[in-house]
Structure 1
Amino acid sequence: MTSSEESVRLAAGDVELTVHPQNGCRIASLRVGGTELLRQGEKYGAFPMVPWCGRTRDGRFRNGDLVHRLPLNAPPHAIHGTGRDTAWRTAAAGKSDAAFTYDLAEPWPYAGRVTQTFTLTDDALTVALGVETAETSFPAQAGWHPWFLRNIGGEDVRIAFTPEWQEERGDDHLPTGRRIPPEPGPWDDCFGMPAGVDVTLTWPEQLELTVASRTPWVVVYDEQDEAVCVEPQSGPPDGLNTHPRLVTLVDPLEIATTWTWRRLGGGAPEAAL
């Protein structure tokens, strides 16, 4: 493990993970055998979505009789939470595991703490998020937004998954509340997988990576040329309003995802294998 104010690097075998706690505690880099899997740049990598995921309609959500307003950072909606725009504190960092925290603050209207942990092996990465309240109960969401490179050498990545349903997407990019049979991509859509998220990314003759989580919700986004996104999250977009998960003093919100990979034979670049 190496660390500085700007980055924490974990390693296991020939796998390297770099986290930038000062830039939203995002994964800045995941290299397997020297091959980078994530799109590079300060807005990319893989960032946590917390205390809400995706878009919140008109930046408004309700907690009982109280209506709260969030900044419209994706007008007319609020998007992806505050965690990605916050400097996190490094709570612990070892050779292949680390933990980070930040305290919820404005513009989020409730006090609490978010914890993110990373555990790396030579064939898997497990990331977990926890949201705790300091006093008052509130609805929250948590999840991740990884930007996997579309191409790491050779053919473009292929996405395989078998959702039970797709949330119908309205013109405002939010679910209409109607569940429909899954449709072919391209996607910027939320899917239901009641048995848990299980999505496989295959870069032919290079690498196969599976994104798994016990949560039944995943957003898949593949409308950009550079990267594709597979986003496990604790509820659908606008879930603060449509599927509120209440965080209480005795019941924090906890979610985890595990990415596992295996290398494929064939024409992979020498650096990757």
Structure 2
Amino acid sequence: MSSSEKNVRLSVGDAELTVDPANGCRISSLRIGGTELLRQGERYGCFPMVPWCGRTENGRFHNGDVLHQLPLNSPPHAIHGTGRDTTWLTAKEGGTDAAFYYDLAEPWPYPGRVTQTFELAEDSLTLAFGIETYGDSFPAQAGWHPWFLRNLGTGGDDVQIGFDAAWQEERGENHLPTGRRIPPLPGPWDDCFGMPDGVDVTLTWPQQLELKVKSRTEWVVVYDEQDEAVCVEPQSGPPNGLNTAPHYVTPIDPLEIVTTWSWRRL
């Protein structure tokens, strides 16, 4: 294992973060006061969704008149991008911050570079993505898929999810947004919500910890259909957004997105 593939550990105060660049540059652990917040396992933690988020319908998207076909890793769709299955290289690592990158390659049809940075403070973690092109413009998305433990295992109650969304993307039988925006429905959810003033979701483990997920982006997917964990996923566009709400990465306009998780003990 080269130095660029070794886990990178950041710590400040009683916060400890571990990033695994060899396994998709995912956060494999986030501990606050020794308590793990993320579901453990090579598929879990918090992984990057890049260069697309959620499901892309039938794995197909257009760039102008050109139709591209992506591998169907969640048939009949392509899901969550290629970054989580890629070894990233370490550009910088310090006591409280780190940066990683990888170059886009097949099966993604356009050359470019993706960077991800981590900044850890005593009471917050700031994550940022950048996607730049080496040539042609292309549609892309970026976001994060954290698996927060439903129960922290310290004898307390399960997590509560709180948010106030302007709308919910109606989900069709194919698990993709239909294009209709509806009033937010009660959970359980595997749904995309719109927050035009910015993503703002609060996770509360009663009498234990409160964690806020914020981002200036207006899209968030909330998933709480599993017993072990819940997911709050800020992302730069809705599921199938390569087709329905494309954000074009151009030589002078990279895609950039930031999210901050902040916490306090209760």
Measured against the shorter chain, the TM-score band is over 0.9
User: Partners of 2:69 and 2:75 in 1: how far apart?
Assistant: 13
Query: For residue 260 of structure 1, what is the aligned residue in structure 2?
Result: 262
Structure 1: 4+ residue segments shifted above 6 A: none
Query: For residue 85 of structure 1, what is the aligned residue in structure 2?
Result: 85
| Cα distance, 1:240 vs structure 2 | 0.1
Number of equivalenced pairs: 262
2:161 to 149, 159, 162: 159
Unaligned runs of 5+ in 1: 265-273
Query: For residue 230 of structure 1, what is the aligned residue in structure 2?
Result: 232
* Equivalences for residues 9-158 of structure 1 within 5 A: 9-152=9-152, 153=154, 154-158=156-160
User: Partners of 1:92 and 1:56 in 2: how far apart?
Assistant: 32
Query: For residue 216 of structure 2, what is the aligned residue in structure 1?
Result: 214
User: Partners of 1:261 and 1:38 in 2: how far apart?
Assistant: 14
Give 3-state SS (helix, strand or coil) of 1:129's partner: strand
| Cα distance, 1:4 vs structure 2 | 7.0
Percent of paired sites with the same residue? 77
Letter in 1 for 2:214: A
Question: TM-score, normalised to structure 1's length?
Answer: 0.95
Unaligned runs of 5+ in 2: none
Question: TM-score, normalised to structure 2's length?
Answer: 0.98
User: Partners of 1:33 and 1:96 in 2: how far apart?
Assistant: 16
Give 3-state SS (helix, strand or coil) of 2:84's partner: helix
User: Partners of 1:155 and 1:33 in 2: how far apart?
Assistant: 18
User: Partners of 1:4 and 1:24 in 2: how far apart?
Assistant: 12
1:3-23 per-position Cα deviation (integer Å, ceiling 9, x unaligned):
873300000111100000000
User: Partners of 2:263 and 2:254 in 1: how far apart?
Assistant: 30
Structure 2 contact 4–89 (Cα < 8 Å) conserved? no
User: Partners of 2:197 and 2:248 in 1: how far apart?
Assistant: 22
Give 3-state SS (helix, strand or coil) of 2:113's partner: strand
| Cα distance, 1:161 vs structure 2 | 0.1
User: Partners of 1:148 and 1:70 in 2: how far apart?
Assistant: 29
1:241 to 240, 243, 262: 243
User: Partners of 2:135 and 2:63 in 1: how far apart?
Assistant: 14
User: Partners of 1:110 and 1:89 in 2: how far apart?
Assistant: 19
Query: For residue 177 of structure 1, what is the aligned residue in structure 2?
Result: 179
